[in-house]
Amino acid sequence: MTSPREDSVERGAGSTDATSRPASLLQFASSYGYSAAGSALSLRGGAARGGLGRDRPGWANALIGAIVPVLLLVVWQVVASSGVIPTYRLPTPLSVWQAAVDLSNRGLLWPDVEISTQRVLLGFLFGSALGLIVGSIVGLSRWAGLLFSPTIGGFRAVPSLAWVPLLILYLGINEDQKVLLILIGAFFPVYTTVSGALRHVDSHLVEVGRAFGRSRLSLLLTVQLPAIVPTVVSGLRLALAQSWLFLVAAELIASSLGLGFLLKDSQDNGRIDRLFVAIILLAVLGKLTDAIIGLLERYLLRRWT
Amino acid sequence: MLAGIDLDIRAGEIVAILGPSGCGKSTLLRQIGGLDSPDTGDIEIDGSALVGIDQRCAVAFQEPRLLPWRSISRNVEIGLARGTDREIGRARVAELLGLVHLTGSSDLRPRQVSGGMAQRAALARALARGPGVLLLDEPFGALDALTRLRMQDLLLDVHSAEPATIVLVTHDVDEALYLADRVVLLGADPADPGAGSGIARTVTVPGARPRDRADAELARIRSELLAGLGVPSHHGAGSAASLAS
């Protein structure tokens, strides 16, 4: 009979929290004739060091992360205002800011940002959902893998820009054509990571699912997908980056609105300050959406591992 | 690997399958559970043949095999029969966690508990559906010696609370004799070793449970079974025997 008391002893041995460690180490040390006081002291020191290293507040980390961008800005300002590079090649940060304010005041900036973000989110959502479904089928079924994975691999090798003329011919120049291109971009990273990871799920755990009556979809949902959550999330991050990439491809070639259009339009009109505005906005939006996925990742990893 | 296995197990009986490594005892258990299927022959439970993974059986493996992203109680939940009412299921899980002394650990993750606790959770998971046949594949093999003895007692408590038929695969002769009503020794026929393992002998263990681990009668059967496994209890005789074979 195992009594509840033995329970707690066992838990102490198995758990990894800091409070259980000194006890077991102490026992270990004293059984080998070391001074118990000495080992207790060194442990206290270790705990304090660990606390200093890890518990830096979030704002402090953000401050450290801001060092390099601020430095870049300073260097940019110095180089641009020194006259070494003429301003029609490298505008000053201030003039770029003024261009952004000017565009924004005339109501020309927000619509670009809005439509580009909408296209990316739609394409990313549909593309990664499709990637998850097709990746699951190809990853789980040996036959589906043998049949489809070479073909899908072939499509994957087609560069993003190569699709644009075909999509324009088929769909015309409209939202569908752009969202579809982004969907293609988002599909492949998710498809590749999901189908690859599903082949390597611990077969012991899958067998447990089967032994307790799970099969196909319910097995996928209770065992296989939760087991690959970390991989799926990194696939989603890649897919999001691809989505922004494919957005610019779509908007550069045929569009009348969006950040890609702003790039093209500024190039045609020689407005290098606006070009910089568009590039910086793409960087900020890309980083922002990636940070949102980062939050999702932290939540999922806390819940699933 | 296996041939000529013919075995009837009474309802509520505990049968231990004993045999040397690689003799196919785990395979036999997996076939009863429907995880593997036999090339020839049938397996029946209560007179009806087994097809695929049978929901009247439940398995516990040598490793706990808990899903690391679920809490202990959510892991036990997996063992419930599909379509169990939510409230009934929750009560059942709580009852089982009490039975295996894990009530206080229900919200912990598998990595936060010891090996013995994880194995108890796996046992609770296997019991969750109220199986007719409980299949245990060396369930205590990976535990330390003392925890193993406690787990054996716990299993007997569980069996008297929930009297399922238990088929236990083990290579521990003492464990087999302590727990089982009958011990089935698997082994190859010495006259025809290529034919695969069959039932070398079946021993009905004397005495009612709980048994005395130090019982003299059990000690005699123990040395017989060890000899059957090719490990005679006296070392001198052992080396002679292995030279002869």
ipTM for the assembly: 0.87
Preferred mutation among B50, B53, B160 to probe A, highest tally of A CBs within 10 A: B53
DSSP strand pairing (B133-137 vs B57-60): parallel
Q: Given pLDDT bands bounded at 50, 70 and 90, which one contains residue A9?
A: very low
Q: Given pLDDT bands bounded at 50, 70 and 90, which one contains residue A23?
A: very low
The pLDDT value given to residue B134: 95
**Residue in the block written with tokens 């196909």:** A216
pLDDT 10s digits, A213-272: 998 899 999 999 999 999 999 999 999 999 999 999 999 988 899 999 999 999 999 999
All residues of chain B having their beta carbon less than 8 Å from the beta carbon of residue A218 are 82
Q: Given pLDDT bands bounded at 50, 70 and 90, which one contains residue A48?
A: very low
Mean pLDDT, rounded, for B7-18: 92
Residues 6+ apart with CB under 8 A from A151: none
Contact A213 B102 (CB under 8 A): no
Q: Considering only CB atoms, which residues of chain B are within 8 Å of chain A? A: 33, 35, 53, 55, 58-59, 61, 63, 65, 67-69, 78-79, 81-82, 101-102, 104-105, 108, 111-117, 120, 125, 129, 147, 150-151, 153-154, 157
Contact A305 B65 (CB under 8 A): no
The radius of gyration of chain B's CA atoms, rounded to the nearest angstrom, is 19
The pLDDT value given to residue B2: 81
In this structure, what token pair is assigned to residue A126? 């549909």
Question: How far does B230 lie from chain A, in Å, by closest CA?
Answer: 31
Number of cross-chain residue pairs from A and B with Cβ atoms under 8 Å apart: 85
Among B85, B79, B83, CA closest to B99: B79
Rounded CA-CA distance B212/A66 in Å is 72
All residues of chain A having their beta carbon less than 8 Å from the beta carbon of residue B120 are 2
Residues 6+ apart with CB under 8 A from B179: B14, B16, B152, B155, B156, B168, B209
Residue B239 confidence (pLDDT) above 70: no
Residue A3 confidence (pLDDT) above 80: no
Which of A204, A213, A304 is the closest to B65 by Cβ?
A: A204
Contact B67 A223 (CB under 8 A): yes
- CATH class held by domain B14-207: alpha beta
**Residue in the block written with tokens 């704002």:** A59
Give domain limits for chain B.
Answer: 14-207
The pLDDT value given to residue B24: 86
The pLDDT value given to residue A44: 41
All residues of chain B having their beta carbon less than 8 Å from the beta carbon of residue A222 are 67, 78
Contact B35 A210 (CB under 8 A): yes
Question: How far does A156 lie from chain B, in Å, by closest CA?
Answer: 33
The pLDDT value given to residue B171: 87
Contact A222 B68 (CB under 8 A): no
In this structure, how many other beta carbons lie within 10 angstroms of the beta carbon of residue A74? 11
Mean pLDDT for chain B? Answer: 88
Contact A14 B63 (CB under 8 A): no
Contact B58 A211 (CB under 8 A): yes
Calculated CA dihedral for residues B134, B137, B141, B142, nearest 10 degrees:
-100
In this structure, how many other beta carbons lie within 10 angstroms of the beta carbon of residue B146? 9
Contact A16 B104 (CB under 8 A): no
Among A7, A4, A225, A24, CA closest to B118: A7
pLDDT 10s digits, B155-207: 999 999 989 999 999 989 999 999 999 999 998 777 777 777 888 889 999 98
Mean pLDDT for chain A? Answer: 84
Residue A71 confidence (pLDDT) above 90: yes
- Among chain B residues, the shortest Cα distance to A304 is held by B69
In this structure, how many other beta carbons lie within 10 angstroms of the beta carbon of residue A62? 9
Burial class (CB in 10 A: 0-12, 13-18, 19+), B235: exposed
Q: Given pLDDT bands bounded at 50, 70 and 90, which one contains residue B51?
A: confident
Contact B113 A4 (CB under 8 A): no
Mean pLDDT, rounded, for A175-193: 96
The pLDDT value given to residue A55: 67
CA atoms within 13 A on the CB side of A247: 32
Mean pLDDT, rounded, for B71-84: 93
